[in-house]
Amino acid sequence: MDQLIHQLLLPLLYTLCVVLPLVIGVAMYVWWERKVIGWMHVRMGPNQVGPAGLLQAFADVVKLLLKEVILPTNANKVLYYLAPLIALVPALAAWAVIPFSDKVALSNANAGLLYLLAMTSLGVYGIILAGWSSNSRYALLGAMRSAAQVISYELAMGLCLVCVLVLAGSLNLTDIVNAQAGHKGIFDWFMWPLLPVFVIYFISGVAETNRAPFDVAEGESEIVAGFHVEYSGSAFALFFLAEYANMILVSFLAAILFCGGWLSPIPDAVPVLGHTSILWLFAKVFVFATLFLWFRATFPRYRYDQIMRLGWKVLIPIAIVWVLVAGCMKYYGLVHIGTGG
Amino acid sequence: MIDPSLFQLVCFYAFAAVTVVAALSVITLRNSVHAVLALVLTFFSTACIWMLAEAEFLAIALIVVYVGAVMVLFLFVVMMLDIDQEKIREGFVKFLPVGLIVAVVMLVEMLGLIGVRMMHTQTMGENPATAAGMSNTQWLGMALYTQYLLPFEIAALILTVGVIAAVALTLRHRAGTRKQHPSEQVAVKATDRVRIIKMAAERPADSQPAPAQESKP
């Protein structure tokens, strides 16, 4: 009986410990998005439900869950209901290898970075299938745009990850964070030697999650709402959840791969503030997550051909060159690689 | 309580069964989009089997490359096609003998290969990655970039040539297409587009043309 608990129930419990805060985090993130964009538009944002409108997101969830899921005429029934799940499952599965601290991770897999690449590349199926099975022109257009965009930016993103693993010499995310440890605090992070790649990674992350200014897959002023135009109620809520979970995931990865994860930006000689802490990780993630919202409030949407040009002719060449630069930096020992602990 | 090796065996048979069923449905499903999805499932469960065999790099590479990129493009194309199911089935009887011959030849070849393998008394050596105390990915990288560097680089070169050839074959310059030149757009100056002329707000009185004489009746 003891063994059963160890082998089956404990992993399940740990998984819940990640997924539940994630879902609540998504709700808070939606509230924060509406607040931030409200302030940038010089208006209040949600302020009626609960203190400072904090419960607005939960009210919206309840509203969505109570709505009817409508099946369009001649839609492909199985795929139509399966698509939101296919979008959500990789978005949640990717969290299995995210380390939260030196010792805390659901799975401290050796091929963690590869696994992440595999999981993030699966998310596009949900979008394509949703667009195709809805039997709607707008949805199909959105799915086409999204497929081309996600594949293009995945290449740039993959090359950025190659730079990180060349420097760190490991695919294990905990090792990658520990490789950024040192006595100089913020200056030991990979974001300095890999600055162009760091910027490219974040741009690709925004494009991968189909967020503004790369939100042509939704493009509400051109193709109404793109791939999920026919979805309502809880099916729509799943797409929503997947998108925001992916945004938080990209923020976590930016913090872990380039900004030292739970390491402190202050040199470790300083008492208290120089210590490693999970709070540093959350602070960095918060900054990146807020950047997503800032972009949305600031930039106009890219045109489709401009997105393709930026991805193929600007980001990918720079990333390829920087793979070579990272290799030279590693070979000549120009970057300090910490050992952690 | 749960025997690990037994559990592994059960998992292997489960994944293998899913692979076979999915592969069969690729060629039997009528809807081509469903067939592509069945192919995706085939790849996915094959990756699971490889993972069981501790070939983690190959398993994840299969998902990243085939499921994540190749099959997405495949699905993309198949979704766009307007396939007439009846027309495809028309030639079925005509091509059946050819298809059967190919299938039989392939079966014989595969059985022969399995037979040769069975007759080999030599067993497979120990997993070299475990022997070297490295993870599968690390060992594969070490082997490829040291021992097998030249074949690896040659393979990379051939692939690059293939990519360039594919692009060169499909790139056609159609007449009448309009293109943007972002570098020119960025380099443009206001003086290229608008010419501002200094002129007085009013014209001098004497140069004013006389109002046209209205013809009086």
Structure tokens at A286: 């918060």
Counting every residue written for chain B, the total comes to 217
Nearest Cα to A152, choosing from A323, A313, A322? A313
Residue in chain B lying closest to A127 (CA): B72
- pLDDT (tens digit, 9 = 90+) per residue, B130-142? 777 777 788 888 8
CB of A175 within 8 A of CB of A333?
no
Query: By percentage, how much of chain B surpasses pLDDT 70?
Result: 86
Distance CA B45, CA B176 (A): 48
Domain boundaries, given as residue ranges, for chain B: 132-169
Nearest Cα to A295, choosing from A211, A225, A226? A211
Residue B88: pLDDT band (50, 70, 90) is: low
CB of A233 within 8 A of CB of A69?
yes
Query: By percentage, how much of chain B surpasses pLDDT 90?
Result: 19
CB of A88 within 8 A of CB of A238?
yes
Distance CA A133, CA A84 (A): 11
Mutate to test the interface with B, among A77, A82, A115, A309 (most CBs of B within 10 A): A115
Q: What is the ipTM of this complex?
A: 0.78
Quickly tell me which residue has 């190959």 as its tokens.
B58
Counting every residue written for chain A, the total comes to 341
Does B35 reach chain A within 8 Å, measured CB to CB?
A: no
Single-letter residue type at A144: M
pLDDT at B164: 93
Residue in chain A lying closest to B67 (CA): A122
Q: Does B216 or A239 have the greater pLDDT score?
A: A239
Single-letter residue type at A96: A
Structure tokens at A259: 């900004």
CB nearest B76 (choices: A111, A144, A154)? A144
Distance CA A225, CA A210 (A): 12
- Helix (H) / strand (E) element for A100: namely none
- pLDDT (tens digit, 9 = 90+) per residue, B147-181? 899 999 999 999 999 999 998 998 887 777 787 78
Output phi, psi for A105, to 5 deg.
-160, 145
Measured from the Cβ of residue A139, the count of other Cβ atoms closer than 10 Å reads 26
Q: Are residues B63 and A128, on separate chains, in Cβ contact within 8 Å?
A: no
Residues of chain A with pLDDT under 70: 1-5, 339-341
Q: Which residues pair with A99 in a beta bridge?
A: A105
Q: Which residues pair with A105 in a beta bridge?
A: A99
Residue B43: pLDDT band (50, 70, 90) is: very high
pLDDT at A203: 92
**Chain A to chain B, count of Cβ pairs less than 8 Å apart?**
72
Nearest Cα to A155, choosing from B163, B81, B139, B49? B163
Does B54 reach chain A within 8 Å, measured CB to CB?
A: no
Distance CA A106, CA A309 (A): 38
Distance CA A174, CA A109 (A): 9
pLDDT at A341: 44
CA dihedral for B17, B23, B28, B30, sign (positive or negative): positive
Which residues of chain B are within 8 Å of residue A165 when distances are taken between CB atoms? none
Quickly tell me which residue has 């929503």 as its tokens.
A240
Q: Does B118 or B64 have the greater pLDDT score?
A: B64
Distance CA B47, CA B58 (A): 8
Distances (CA, A) of A13 to A16, A59, A146: 5, 27, 35
* CA distance to partner chain B, nearest, from residue A272 (Å): 37
Does B74 reach chain A within 8 Å, measured CB to CB?
A: no
Quickly tell me which residue has 């690689």 as its tokens.
A337
